[in-house]
């Protein structure tokens, strides 16, 4: 075997946890990667889990910044992140996360933008443009169909072709076409039967149809088979190490099971990434990152409700309630968790601003149980106060990377306290800190609700500026907030199986579902209040062949300057096929002084009116009448116009027009039978537990005769691992090949040998013999 093949096979696997390998002979330097969708996370130590990192700025998470509907703000965020990367010698930032928000229980939703692929794509593209304009690369993630944490490394996402293209791939396509990211991260899961890291149709679609010319790298530990992966189009397996991937690739070339040209092409992709990131050029001087974090939080926070309690006045005596007032939740937990250089709190800021207030915790975050003594203290303050500010939200352990929520309720002690406070004070204001929607059973009882999501290191000052009125709220919800979990379209099929998740709701997710089903949400997609009012009028639509322009006049009819997010939706009138009631196809944020009027314009193209035709395997426009809807939210349409378009007279969709209905028992909105029909006749079976392979979960192994021994091994592993945030369930849901995280001596031969032991074909001694560096 030539030295050239060996060198290029080595380049497929990283050098360590965070760097690629260098090839000095071929002039390819090492590339350094780092976590950082909303803040740079450079680990101080190696090891399994989420380890302590170097200090950096904690910006608001994507769940909040998406509510800005602001491309310029996302680009500026990218520039700030790039400046910190340059300062610390990072060439590629692992972000943004643009996964579709299918269900509010996903533990990692705080890292993602929206339930709408157009919004996610536009914001993601702006973020990428900001980072890469400074010569720092990004890795857009997680490609694709990764919408839950439960079983994420072993589950198979079963998605029908139309929903896959319209909801789960559309944002990746938009980002790739608009901003040309230098790398894309393939997800852990299988997609319709094949692991994403070895899914040739998935990667070929991005390269051949969308024009992606960058590096496909794996999520950390996502490679199930290095030969299949590089053959399918993966260029880099991370994390790195000496676990035998290169040897398997070399063997495959030797046996003529792998074309050596595949190695050459992959090497050139790595070389191009190294060249692109070789000369970063942001100026660090003058970058006040914490000031931008404050700006981003203020531009994004959503005033969900206000019946007059806000803004608070200088003469208001305030009762400030809740532990989050002292110790706020500013970010999520997992690989994106930042070691913040600074962090404020609402309590500190109110004290600094000399607001008139008294504080009581009211509840504890240590458990969900009401505490009568804490409640009484808070109620006594509330009785004497003119206004009550309650800091509420999800405790840190309730949502995180690695596991999902089992429900969407706030802790019982918070809900009970808020309801009691609302009975004795008419001016209760709730400030929410959480990474995703929660049920708000008291929403009609309180006066105001300010949603901060996870607002970063300056969350306290941002909240006070909004509450006090020095800043006018302008954010709008990038996802629907349901009344209850039962209203969520994926409620019944989100967690049915560890090994498979059926996306039975198809194209009906988020506001698309709530519109089609007639279910009233607690707060609609695109909703947000202001301290001023806006009027929309004089909508015009011009069809000039290849370009359609819509323009509307927006007037600030209040007495305060503010920013309004104007949204454009497209609806197909009397469609012959199943279509969503309307879809977001444009948005603009406009600043208006009192009495000022501005024209807001939108450019629409053919894609704005298209659906995905599974017969043609391409996008298609149905001929007929369309409505252009301009609104302040998906449920607050202010202006409407119609136009007629040429297109196909015979649209095709496997989704029947009456797909949205309960099954024969009335227990499910989307029956398995109906879902099978749109898949082509049957749902793929869940893979059998036996024979065991390297992709078998530890949970499956634990059901064997060695189950007790495995449980003891998990307890031992947890006790010795340096990483934080790794639970027993996360280890049980991991595949056998995750042993690479635990032992630097393990190889692919070790993984195969472990499987053989559990299949009764080998002994533990053989496992020992496969370990590199054994004594």
Residues catalogued as catalytic: 219
Name every residue whose Cβ is closer than 8 Å to that of residue 6 and which is 6 or more positions away in sequence.
Answer: 246, 250
Strands 183-186 and 215-218, by their bridges, are parallel
Neighbouring CB atoms inside 10 A of 544's CB total 7
Name every residue whose Cβ is closer than 8 Å to that of residue 685 and which is 6 or more positions away in sequence.
Answer: none
Name every residue whose Cβ is closer than 8 Å to that of residue 362 and which is 6 or more positions away in sequence.
Answer: 321, 322, 374, 375, 377, 378, 390, 417
How far apart are the C-alpha atoms of 564 and 590, rounded to whole Å? 5
Give the helix/strand (H/E) hosting 131. Answer: helix 117-132
> Residues 55, 340: contact at Cβ < 8 Å?
yes
> Residues 113, 119: contact at Cβ < 8 Å?
yes
Name the β-bridge partners of 393.
433
Q: Which of these, 477, 552, 486, lies nearest to 519 by C-alpha position?
A: 486
> Residues 388, 425: contact at Cβ < 8 Å?
yes
Give the helix/strand (H/E) hosting 123. Answer: helix 117-132
Nearest 5°: phi and psi at 449? -135, 125
What Cα–Cα distance (Å) separates residue 516 from each residue in 568, 580, 628, 630?
18, 7, 18, 18
Name every residue whose Cβ is closer than 8 Å to that of residue 363 and which is 6 or more positions away in sequence.
Answer: 322, 323, 370, 371, 374, 375, 378, 411, 413, 414, 417
**Structure token pair of residue 138:** 């990004």
Max Cα distance, the chain (Å): 83
Q: Which of these, 348, 457, 333, lies nearest to 84 by C-alpha position?
A: 457
- Taken as a whole, the chain contains a residue count of 775
Give the helix/strand (H/E) hosting 466. Answer: helix 459-468
DSSP state of 43: B
> Residues 621, 647: contact at Cβ < 8 Å?
yes
Query: What SS3 state is found at 386?
Result: coil
| 352-356: long-range pairs with CB below 8 Å, 24+ | 353/464, 353/468, 355/312, 355/318, 355/464, 355/468, 356/315, 356/316, 356/317, 356/318
- Strands (E) in 267-412, as ranges, are 302-306, 318-321, 339-340, 357-360, 387-393
Query: What SS3 state is found at 172?
Result: helix
Name every residue whose Cβ is closer than 8 Å to that of residue 412 and which is 6 or more positions away in sequence.
Answer: 368, 369, 370
Query: What SS3 state is found at 604?
Result: strand
CA 348 to chain centre: 31
How far apart are the C-alpha atoms of 240 and 14, rounded to whole Å? 4
DSSP state of 620: E
């Amino acid at each position: 075997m030539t030295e050239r093949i060996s060198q290029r096979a080595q380049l497929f696997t990283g050098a360590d946890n965070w760097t690629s390998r260098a090839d000095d002979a071929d002039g390819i330097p090492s590339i350094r990667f780092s976590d950082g969708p909303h803040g740079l996370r450079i680990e101080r130590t190696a090891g399994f889990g989420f380890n302590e990192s170097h200090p950096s700025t904690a910006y608001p998470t994507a769940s909040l910044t998406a509510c800005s509907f602001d491309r310029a703000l996302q680009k500026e965020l990218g520039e700030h992140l790039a400046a910190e990367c340059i300062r610390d010698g990072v060439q590629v930032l692992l972000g943004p996360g643009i996964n579709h928000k299918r269900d509010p229980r996903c533990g990692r939703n705080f890292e993602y933008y929206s339930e709408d692929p157009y919004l996610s794509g536009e914001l993601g593209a702006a973020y990428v443009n900001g980072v890469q304009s400074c010569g720092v690369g990004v890795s857009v993630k997680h490609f694709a169909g990764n919408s839950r944490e439960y079983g994420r490394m072993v589950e198979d996402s079963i998605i029908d072709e139309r929903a896959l293209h319209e909801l789960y791939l559309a944002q990746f396509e938009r980002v790739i076409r608009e901003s040309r990211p230098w790398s894309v991260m393939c997800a852990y899961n299988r997609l319709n039967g094949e692991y994403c890291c070895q899914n040739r149709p998935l990667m070929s679609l991005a390269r051949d149809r969308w024009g992606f010319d960058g590096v496909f790298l794996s999520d950390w530990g996502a490679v199930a088979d290095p030969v299949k992966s590089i053959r399918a189009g993966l260029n880099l397996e991370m994390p790195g190490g000496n676990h035998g991937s290169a040897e398997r690739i070399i063997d495959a070339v030797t046996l003529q099971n792998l074309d050596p040209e595949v190695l050459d092409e992959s090497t050139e992709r790595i070389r191009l990434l190294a060249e692109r990131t070789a000369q970063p050029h942001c100026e660090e001087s003058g970058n006040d990152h914490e000031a931008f974090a404050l700006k981003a939080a203020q531009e994004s926070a959503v005033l969900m409700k206000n019946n007059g309690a806000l803004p608070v006045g200088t003469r208001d005596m305030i009762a400030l309630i809740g532990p989050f007032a002292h110790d706020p939740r500013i970010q999520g937990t997992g690989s994106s968790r930042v070691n913040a250089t600074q962090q404020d709190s609402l309590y500190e800021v109110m004290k600094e601003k000399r607001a008139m207030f008294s504080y009581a915790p009211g509840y504890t975050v240590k458990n969900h149980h009401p505490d009568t003594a804490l409640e009484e203290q808070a109620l006594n303050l509330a009785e004497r106060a003119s206004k009550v500010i309650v800091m509420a939200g999800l405790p840190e352990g309730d949502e995180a990377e690695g596991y999902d929520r089992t429900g969407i309720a706030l802790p019982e002690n918070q809900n009970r306290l808020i309801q009691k406070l609302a009975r004795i004070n008419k001016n209760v204001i709730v400030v929410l800190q959480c990474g995703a929607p929660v049920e708000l059973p008291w929403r009609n009882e309180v006066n105001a609700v300010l949603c901060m999501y996870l607002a970063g290191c300056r969350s306290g000052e941002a909240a006070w500026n909004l509450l006090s009125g020095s800043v006018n709220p302008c954010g709008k919800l990038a996802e629907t907030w349901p009344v209850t979990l039962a209203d969520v379209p994926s409620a019944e099929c989100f967690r049915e199986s560890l090994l498979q998740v059926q996306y039975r709701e198809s194209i009906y997710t988020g506001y698309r579902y709530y519109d089609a089903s007639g279910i009233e949400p607690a707060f609609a997609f695109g909703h947000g209040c202001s301290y001023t009012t806006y009027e929309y009028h004089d909508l015009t639509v011009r069809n000039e062949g290849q370009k359609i322009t819509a323009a509307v006049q927006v007037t600030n009819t209040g007495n305060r300057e503010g920013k309004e997010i104007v949204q454009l939706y497209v609806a197909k009138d009397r469609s012959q096929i199943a279509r969503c009631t309307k879809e977001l196809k444009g948005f603009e944020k406009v600043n208006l002084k009192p009495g000022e009027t501005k024209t807001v314009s939108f450019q629409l193209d053919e894609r704005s009116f298209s659906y995905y035709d599974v017969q043609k395997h391409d996008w298609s426009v149905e001929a007929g009448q369309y409505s252009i809807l301009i609104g302040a939210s998906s449920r607050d349409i202010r202006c409407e116009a119609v136009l007629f378009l040429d297109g196909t007279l015979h649209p095709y969709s496997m989704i029947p027009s009456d797909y949205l209905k309960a099954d024969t028992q009335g227990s499910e909105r989307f029956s398995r039978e109906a879902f099978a029909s749109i898949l082509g006749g049957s749902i793929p079976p869940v893979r059998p537990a036996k024979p065991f392979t390297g992709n078998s979960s530890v949970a499956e192994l634990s059901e064997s005769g060695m189950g007790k021994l495995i449980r003891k091994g998990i307890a031992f592993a947890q006790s010795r691992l340096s990483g934080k945030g790794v639970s027993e369930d996360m280890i049980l849901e991991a595949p056998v090949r995750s042993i690479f995280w635990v032992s630097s001596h393990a190889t692919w031969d070790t993984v195969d040998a472990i499987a053989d032991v559990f299949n009764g074909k080998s002994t533990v001694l053989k496992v020992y013999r496969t370990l590199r560096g054994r004594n």
